Chain A
């Protein structure tokens, strides 16, 4: 009964979404405020019904209702309860329901917090978001119904994919979807701008906080995904340039360009059509990612079960949404003109360069991800584009970007002289150089030029961010409490840029100095990596709720002091017989010691894979700092002020002083 109610709730949500799309749009055309005001209640209703449907599916999982096909394919009576709840989004149909839930949540949020928007913009935004909802709800109803019955119901389900039975599953997909879906808000605002024919400061003021929020969720989701892959896949890797990973990374790169481009458009009224195009592109890449992951077009470890019929639907949806928005763009964007000049040594120039690097990087990833498909489609063979391509291209694009970041805090709008810049940050150059050369030497005995260059840049980003915060704190001393408050946006910017530096540090050191050894050990034997010894203490059997495990115990030593004992397991999940390795990790900020149990060899020996990974935690720390930075930036009080209509004008002197 409940699954049928859930299905019915989806259909009702669809009806409300259709209403939310059409009625305000017609109201806009006819200037009828009553019709326009339908948007809010429709959005609320849609959210309620989608939530009900979501609860219905969750309930089916909790009570082990295997007469629902999706539950039978993804759950099992032995599956721990927490994973039964998470299994709702473990496969295609359920994750789609989660997508739709996120979308209706964002729509409701926009409807609730945008009361200050002019009603025509509001109507347009909510209508566009309604249209996207309609597409996804139709997709669910016609090709991916999570409530389909399986009769007669099997007694036992197939079990959740063991790789997903990890805390990472609980938060990674929801965060990622919050990000993907969040870009639909920026997209809707872009369409509203095209329709209304205006991109003014007010528009950017409304769009910025939503976009930054979506961006920070996506950053969080990607960082979590990387951390999760490191723990779960047993290969010590944290990024594989896998098509599905790239599908999330491309919108992130464009999204980062977007949040920076919005800053320029807000302050100086330039790059308007570019900003709008970026907003359309970011969401289009989110949709493209959805297509790539669910249609079977690309081969990947992560891809959901594939079905060409679904692929066709998403492709058509993609064509309609992106095609019509770009058509609108081609028609309306040329009317966005601005007369301001952009100089190289200015904040606008800096952010333009930032955009160029990010977009080129996104294009490079795009090329590498889709090229195999091109070649296959043209019947030129079957190729794969592996990590070496991506790394070769990506690194030279990122390093100049990190260099530019150092100027972020001190580059003023409109114009700067080289002498001014030197005065403001010049003294940090030798600091960064010294840190960049000494740090790897002290930490890892590194004397590699390449590593030092990358670390100099990383420290450059970090020190300039810290210096800016100090400068603000210093200028706040002796002033009244009111003017002493550093805007949250400043904290946010510097924290995020600092995080970028930390990230680069982690990636550089771990990529250059990780050591991997595959060894064959008898119980009692040890193997070394540098100063560390790994003593294999044998394997014993254990049984858990839904798997049987062979557990290896390894004792870790540094010099000759015992530091820790680590467990690694080879698990055999009973439901499907699948085998999975759970690695043991001894983690510290400056290094991870990582062990994965291999297989039993003759005579009682076991193969083991041992890793020493220096500073790998900094990779995720950097990511989390960026998320935190974004969070602070969104909290800045200028977004909480009552929004007044602002003229499309050149920058206001006071805000210049406050924000630069």
Chain B
């Protein structure tokens, strides 16, 4: 029957579309230690999460470019971002950035995410900060 054939073809097409869109758009998460060990993919977009390293935030005097470091307990990654940072961005805050690692080892971020609650820590960051046995460098919630 025509109707059935159309349905079947449509469903097959939709499934193919979904799966391929899927593959291309998965964003994997890496922490600074994994990046330092060279485990992150070259030339691909991915996520990095950690704490904004105290004292590392530098704003360019004449443009909207900003540099800072994202750290876990052991390593850190330098990040460059041009644009306005989210309201909750500050040193010691847990954040996640999306972008690519350039060939100089600096992470070129196109998105910086800090959630809308200063007590919130992205779970992937929590897990990565607790990963090393005997060591945990998670900060506490900010007070006043």
Contacts and interface: CB of A to CB of B under 8 A. Distances in A.
Interface of A: 161, 163, 233-234, 299, 301, 342-344, 349, 352-353, 356-357, 360, 363-364, 367-368, 371, 381-386, 388-389, 392-393, 396-397, 518-520, 570, 576-581, 596, 598-599, 601-603, 607-609
A368 B22 contact: yes
Interface string B14-35: 1001100110111111000000
A349 B116 contact: no
B28 A383 contact: yes
Contacts of A356: 7, 10-11
Given A356-B10, A364-B14, A384-B29, A518 B83 contact: yes
B57 to A, nearest CB: 11
B123 interface: yes
A360 B28 contact: no
Contacts of A609: 83-84
Given A392-B21, A518-B83, A520-B64, A299 B26 contact: no
Contacts of A602: 59, 61
Contacts of A579: 87-88
A518 B142 contact: no
B28 A393 contact: no
What 4 pairs between A and B have smallest CB-CB spacing? A389-B25, A392-B21, A598-B84, A382-B29
Give chain B's interface secondary structure class. Answer: mixed
- Chain B interface size, as a band, is 35 or more
A389 B29 contact: no
Given A356-B7, A601-B59, 5 more contacts: A363-B18, A388-B24, A519-B64, A580-B87, A598-B84
Contacts of B87: 234, 570, 579-581
A342 B122 CA distance: 51
Contact of A393 (B6, B17, B116, B142): B17
B25 A388 contact: yes
A384 B27 contact: yes
Nearest to A346: B3
Nearest to A387: B25
Nearest to B90: A579
Interface of B: 2-3, 6-7, 10-11, 14, 17-18, 21-22, 24-29, 47, 59, 61-64, 82-85, 87-88, 115-118, 122-124, 127, 142, 144
B63 A367 contact: no
Nearest to A597: B84
A383 B123 CA distance: 12
A219 to B, nearest CB: 24
Max chain A C-beta neighbours (<10 A), residue from B7, B29, B62, B84: B84
Contacts of A163: 116
A386 B45 CA distance: 12
B39 to A, nearest CB: 11
Contact of A396 (B7, B17, B59): B17
Contacts of A301: 115-116
Nearest to B3: A344
A382 B124 contact: yes
Nearest to A520: B64
